[in-house]
Amino acid sequence: MAANNSPDKGTRNLVIGMVVFIVLIGVIFSFISNKSSTSAAIPASVSESDGYGIVTNPEVKPQVDIYIDYQCPICKDFEIINGGYIAELVAAKKIKMVVHPMTFIGVESILAANAAACAADEGKFLDMNLALFQNQPASEGSGLWTGDYMKRLGNSIGIKSEKYDKCVTDGDYVNWSRNVAQASADANVNGTPTVMVNGKELYRKKTNNDPKDEYMDPVQFRAVLAAAGVK
């Protein structure tokens, strides 16, 4: 009778493992929240001189810096509206794109940023960036995003390597995410999304009566890039 009421041992161990991983990441976040790390492991595509952002097309101009948090709903809106166009420009090598994954919303933002960096090592950053926004939970801090979830998400975009799984499990780039946060603060970035073209921040709508919003209006966004030399 007692055996029938006992939970499945494998399932129990899996749940315990996931909880321990999240708790450990939370402890790490608390530890590093007041200090960036000069010895943090960083992906090969990251540039310290570009605010520790993940860089695509490093030799190209103009430079477009995008500061996001993967749990940020407005960042998801920006990706839906302008992400396809940005991906086209990147593929055509018409812009240098620098993405700064920020983590101020919480532990799941750190898990997502780490997974994005792990995917960058696999040459799959753009795919993971899109997948994270496409699979953004309905609410922040929902508990949906775990290490195992990030592994499955990577698998869904074609990442099959054990190296990626280990990178996610071990949180290889957790400390790097703090460096991104510190560099973003040094650049006076205090919200997401923040988009800069050649170091100049795009205009953000201040009131509902203000029609000019270069973040979310695709016509305005393309006009800014055109003025910066994108054709």
Q: Over the stretch 38-51, which tens digit does the pLDDT of each residue have?
A: 678 999 899 999 99
Q: Please write down the long-range contacts of 198-203, taking CB distance under 8 Å and 24 or more positions apart.
A: 198/61, 198/62, 198/63, 198/228, 199/63, 199/65
Residue 227 has pLDDT above 80, yes or no: yes
DSSP string, 82-103: HHHHHHHHHHTT-SEEEEEEE-
Which of the four pLDDT bands, split at 50, 70 and 90, describes residue 35? Answer: low
Count the Cβ atoms, other than its own, within 10 Å of residue 95: 22
Give the pLDDT band of residue 20 (cuts 50, 70, 90).
Answer: very low
**pLDDT reading at 73 higher than 50:** yes
The confidence score (pLDDT) of residue 3 equals: 45
**Structure confidence at residue 27 (pLDDT):** 42
Domains and CATH numbers, the chain: 2-227 (3.40.30.10)
Gap between the Cα atoms of 64 and 132, Å rounded: 20
- Rounded mean pLDDT of 149-178? 96
Q: Is 117 helix (H, G, I), strand (E, B) or coil?
A: helix
With 90 as the cut, is the pLDDT of residue 209 above it?
no
The pTM for the full model equals 0.83
Q: What is the pLDDT of residue 212?
A: 85
- Helix H or strand E encompassing 128: helix 125-134
Sole residue written with tokens 């994108």: 230
Residue 97 phi/psi, 5° resolution?
-105, 130
User: Phi then psi for 14, rounded to 5 degrees?
Assistant: -65, -45
Distance of CA 77 to the CA centre of its chain: 14
